[in-house]
A and B are shown apart, each in its own frame.
Chain A
Amino acid sequence: MKELICIVCPKGCHLKVDEENGYAVTGNSCPRGAVYGKKELVNPTRVLTSTVKVTGGTLKRVSVKTDGDIPKSQLFPAMEALENVEMKAPVSIGDVVLENFLGLGVNLVATKTVPLREE
């Protein structure tokens, strides 16, 4: 039996997950908690948020996220992969920065609109 705090929403339910019984979850107050409890033990995943360089815009960095969760073990390789990514303004919220990011089956998308800088 493994005890976890659910991170699906700000409530933070205290979950108990029974590894020997098909990862049965108790202590959750919604179905999403049951999904999280099992996944956290079998294959923990997170959404990655960070920034990449943008040129020609009103800002120097544009914030980005993976549009789905990725394995926890891939967070640092993903951060490394962002280092050389460069976008050109204008950028709109939802623009795909990288498709099928690192082959993980998720896209890296912009989360901020960056208009062109007026000279």
Chain B
Amino acid sequence: MSGTERQTKYDVIVVGGGPAGLAAALEAKETGAEKVLILERNHELGGILNQCIHNGFGLHHFKEELTGPEYAGRFISRLPGSGIEVMADTMVLEITPDKTVHAMNSRDGYMQLTASAIVLTMGCRERTRGAIAIPGDRPAGIFTAGAAQLYVNVEGYMVGRRVLILGSGDIGLIMARRMTLEGAKVLGCVELMPYSNGLNRNIVQCLNDYNIPLYLSHTITNIQGDKRVEKVTVSKVDENRRPIPGTEMEFECDTVLLSVGLIPENELSRQAGIRMDRRTNGPEVYENMETSIPGVFASGNVVHVHDLVDFVTAESQRAGKAAALFALHGETPPGEEILVENGACVNYTVPQKIRPENVGKFVEIFFRVNFVYRDVVIRVTSGEEVLASYKREHMAPGEMEKIVLPKALLEKARDGKIRVSVEKEAQAE
């Protein structure tokens, strides 16, 4: 029985042992937090990286190209001897604002653990067929791309022989190649938007390498099949993303993979009463990744969906460090707050709020644009004054942007607000 034997008071509890949780826990420990615990739902650490067996991870953080399991392995191998405690196969049921974590597993049963600081690193979940309402029958053979990836790469099951992919996000592209290498015929990748949200390199090495067609501005308008998928209808869409009658194409296939977006997994955050941002579907965070509840931090895909795990690591190290400092020194005293507003073409920013007193030499702001742009300027303004400009040759919704604001600029903010926007270069200067 745990209640009696297990120490239940921690400095920092990390909820989720994927790339974000691993980086946060290690950084918290290195910053000086004594008792650090990682709670993980799966039987092993590493999160989604375990099924991402392709390479391309780590170019920023490790300056070399690693596969997903290798990237996770670099962090997991630092745990033994670090003093960080890990509870795998453990489900967190609830987190309360007083920083009690309610969790359970089949070994210890139900537990109440308390922490001085908590880091939320639950990651994200795939959008499903239900979330995008595809018409047609409900046969077997329709998977989210990530579920198929788990079956193929971890469990060793082939999910289909003739495959059509809806959505051209990176997971869909990666699975197009993976299924092809495993002997399936991938008939095409269908994308609603006039551009792909996947990385260019993945379009080249996952689709073009295997002559898999990419149908931009197309969508699935019907799925037919009795027990298993038999036939899928694909139609071209107009500029309002509505199917154009008469453009139907039919594909005979047994499998449909969906790569139609990711949603941060925030049931625990919402239940705890953390203030959420409707643009990111994640918690609102300050410059040090602290949420609206003092001492509760969040980082990685639970805050906003990233394209590159390297940036998840960097963000989570910030969160882990801040959590340790909170556990050691207590709350940040109330001070000035600057709200980061979204201007033209900007979908969201992280952080949403900045406390200048907490900023060292500079603060990094991450954001995404709402469309594909060429030769533009990112402007940071406050009132009428332009505080900073950054040129970009190319911007796309699929590529997270980063700007670095020196602390001195924050001091020029008026009315506690700065605004990030994107403009055509010609109009600027």
Contact = CB atoms under 8 A, between A and B. Distances in A.
Interface in A7-49: 7-10, 12, 46-49
A10 B307 contact: yes
Contacts of B199: 10, 12
Contact of B205 (A46, A61, A112): A46
Interface in A39-78: 46-51, 53, 58-61, 63, 65, 72, 75-76
B73 A113 contact: yes
A5 B55 contact: no
Contact of B209 (A9, A72, A111): A72
Contact of B55 (A58, A59, A65, A76): A65
A61 B181 contact: no
Contacts of A6: 201
Nearest to B182: A79
A72 B210 CA distance: 10
A51 B66 CA distance: 15
B56 A60 contact: no
Given A10-B59, A61-B155, A111 B67 contact: yes
B181 A75 contact: yes
Contact of A49 (B50, B67, B156, B203): B67
Task: Give the interface centre of A6, A46, A63, A72 by most chain B CB atoms within 10 Å.
Answer: A63
Interface residues of B, number: 33
A98 interface: no
B48 interface: no
B155 A63 contact: no
A114 B174 CA distance: 24
Interface string B40-58: 0001100000100111100
A111 B69 contact: yes
A12 B200 contact: yes
A113 B71 CA distance: 12
A63 B209 contact: no
Contact of A7 (B70, B77, B201): B201
Given A5-B201, A7-B201, A51-B156, A65 B73 contact: no
Contacts of B155: 60-61
B168 to A, nearest CB: 14
A18 to B, nearest CB: 20
A93 interface: yes
Contacts of A47: 55, 65
B337 to A, nearest CB: 34
Contacts of B344: none
A5 B200 contact: yes
A63 B53 contact: yes
A63 B77 CA distance: 17
Contact of A93 (B54, B69, B153, B308): B69
A91 to B, nearest CB: 11
B154 interface: yes
A111 B74 CA distance: 11
Contacts of A8: 201
Interface in A86-119: 93, 111-113
A46 B44 contact: no
A9 B59 contact: yes
B244 interface: no
A9 B181 CA distance: 22
B205 A7 contact: yes
Nearest to A65: B67
Nearest to A50: B181
Contact of B70 (A58, A79, A111): A111
Contacts of B69: 63, 93, 111-112
B158 to A, nearest CB: 12
B386 interface: no
A4 B205 CA distance: 11
Interface of B: 43-44, 50, 53-56, 59, 65-67, 69-70, 73, 76-77, 153-156, 181-183, 199-201, 203-205, 209, 307-308, 399
24 contacts: A5-B200, A5-B204, A9-B59, A9-B201, A10-B199, A10-B201, A12-B199, A46-B205, A46-B209, A48-B181, A49-B54, A50-B181, A51-B53, A58-B44, A61-B154, A65-B67, A75-B181, A79-B182, A79-B183, A93-B69, A93-B77, A111-B53, A111-B70, A112-B53
Given A7-B204, A50-B181, A61-B154, 7 more contacts: A5-B200, A48-B181, A93-B70, A111-B67, A111-B70, A111-B73, A112-B70
